[in-house]
């Protein structure tokens, strides 16, 4: 018999990333298809199924070689693989795992995309070798994924790992996209960092690189790396919120490692250093040495994690 394989699918708002892996986590093939969101996104899952079947034929994969398929989707997914809704895909409730299983006749597991990415980093990225971790994804928002005993914690409402909505600032007057006030992602996402920078520049008279050129998370970290004093104050404020949030998270599941990913994590070691400073200040003594590492799989974390999820 030929080597056993598993499919990993990551459904995004514009494209679906697909991967074919060995059971050991070797990526054999990747491809993409467009995400067709028209008609309440009713074509999305059938398109994925057809694409997977085409790949099976193309590579002459035999049914007994296939271990299963995992699929990550952008919304809250429960343990059964059902999603209560996905705004970006124009979906309401959908039994994602059930529909895919029906179409493909193979074992299927579904999960939230951020949680699945965390599992991917554990399998083949910054979390390799750990069996519990928390992934923190610093992008437009702040996403998260919580892994305990090698498994995704999905939560009673599919909301486990929604750490971007940790209520870190009770004094905040502006609203988060979720409707609450003072969520972590209002301070610690790329958007949040720019918001902190803008507020700082309005209040301060200080001369800074940040007054020249377009304000962005990258501009703030570039100025920080260049020794700009204003950028340093802004980055410290950002890291104070995020490091303290990570300290609180460590009191809940006490992970072996934090894996930091997303666009803002491109700032690299200076980001880890300042985060570690605040994490250590606020973490419970037993957890102060928990390592903070960078994510390694970038946009492929989702397909890795989806495939890994199907192996359980």
Q: How far is the CB of 286 from a copy of itself (least distance, A)?
A: 4
Q: Which residues pair with 199 in a beta bridge?
A: none
Q: How far is the CB of 115 from a copy of itself (least distance, A)?
A: 11
Restricting to residues 67-96, name those near a copy of itself by CB under 8 A: 76, 84
Restricting to residues 277-296, name those near a copy of itself by CB under 8 A: 281-287, 290
Query: How far, in Å, CA of 193 to CA of 195, rounded?
Result: 5
Of 54 and 251, which has the nearer Cβ to a copy of itself? 251
3-state secondary structure of 29: strand
Which span (98-106, 152-160, 197-205, 262-270) binds a copy of itself, by CB under 8 A? Answer: 152-160
Query: How far, in Å, CA of 215 to CA of 160, rounded?
Result: 32
Of 172 and 222, which has the nearer Cβ to a copy of itself? 172
3-state secondary structure of 68: strand
**251 sits near a copy of itself (criterion: CB under 8 A):** yes
Q: Is the Cβ–Cβ distance between 291 and 255 less than 8 Å?
A: no
Restricting to residues 207-246, name those near a copy of itself by CB under 8 A: 240, 244-245
Interface pick for a copy of itself out of 117, 119, 154, 271 (rule CB under 8 A): 154
Query: How far, in Å, CA of 75 to CA of 90, rounded?
Result: 11
**201 sits near a copy of itself (criterion: CB under 8 A):** no
Listed residue (5, 19, 80, 13) closest to 41, CA to CA: 13
Which long-range CB contacts under 8 A does 28-35 form with residues at least 24 apart? Answer: 29/55, 29/59, 30/300, 30/303, 31/55, 35/11, 35/89
Which span (30-38, 99-107, 228-236, 251-259) binds a copy of itself, by CB under 8 A? Answer: 251-259
Residues at the contact surface with a copy of itself, assessed by CB under 8 A: 76, 84, 132, 134, 144, 146, 148-149, 151, 153-168, 170, 178-180, 182, 240, 244-245, 247-256, 281-287, 290
């Amino acid at each position: 018999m030929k080597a056993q394989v598993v499919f990993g699918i990551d459904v995004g708002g514009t494209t679906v990333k697909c991967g074919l892996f060995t059971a050991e986590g070797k990526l054999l093939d990747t491809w993409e298809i467009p995400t067709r969101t028209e008609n309440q996104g009713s074509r999305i899952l059938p398109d994925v199924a057809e694409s997977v079947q085409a790949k099976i034929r193309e590579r002459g994969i035999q049914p007994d070689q296939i271990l299963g398929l995992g699929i990550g989707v952008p919304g809250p997914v429960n343990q059964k693989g059902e999603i209560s809704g996905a705004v970006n895909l124009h979906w309401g409730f959908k039994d994602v795992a059930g529909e895919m299983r029906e179409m493909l006749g193979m074992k299927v597991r579904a999960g939230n995309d951020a949680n699945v990415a965390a599992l991917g980093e554990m399998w083949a990225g910054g979390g390799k070798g750990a069996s519990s971790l928390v992934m923190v994804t610093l992008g437009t928002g702040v996403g998260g994924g919580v892994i305990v005993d090698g498994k995704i914690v999905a939560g009673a409402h599919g909301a486990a790992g929604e750490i971007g909505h940790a209520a870190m600032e009770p004094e905040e007057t502006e609203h988060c996209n979720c409707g609450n006030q003072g969520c972590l992602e209002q301070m610690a996402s790329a958007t949040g960092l720019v918001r902190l920078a803008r507020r700082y520049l309005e209040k301060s008279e200080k001369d800074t690189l940040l007054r020249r050129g377009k304000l962005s998370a990258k501009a703030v970290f570039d100025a920080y790396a260049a020794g700009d004093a204003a950028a340093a104050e802004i980055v410290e404020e950002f890291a104070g919120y995020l490091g303290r949030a990570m300290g609180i998270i460590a009191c809940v599941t006490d992970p072996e490692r934090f894996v930091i990913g997303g666009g803002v994590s491109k700032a690299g070691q200076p980001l880890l250093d300042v985060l570690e400073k605040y994490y250590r200040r606020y973490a419970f003594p037993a957890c102060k040495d928990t390592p903070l590492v960078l994510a390694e799989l970038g946009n492929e974390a989702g397909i890795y994690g989806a495939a890994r999820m199907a192996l359980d």
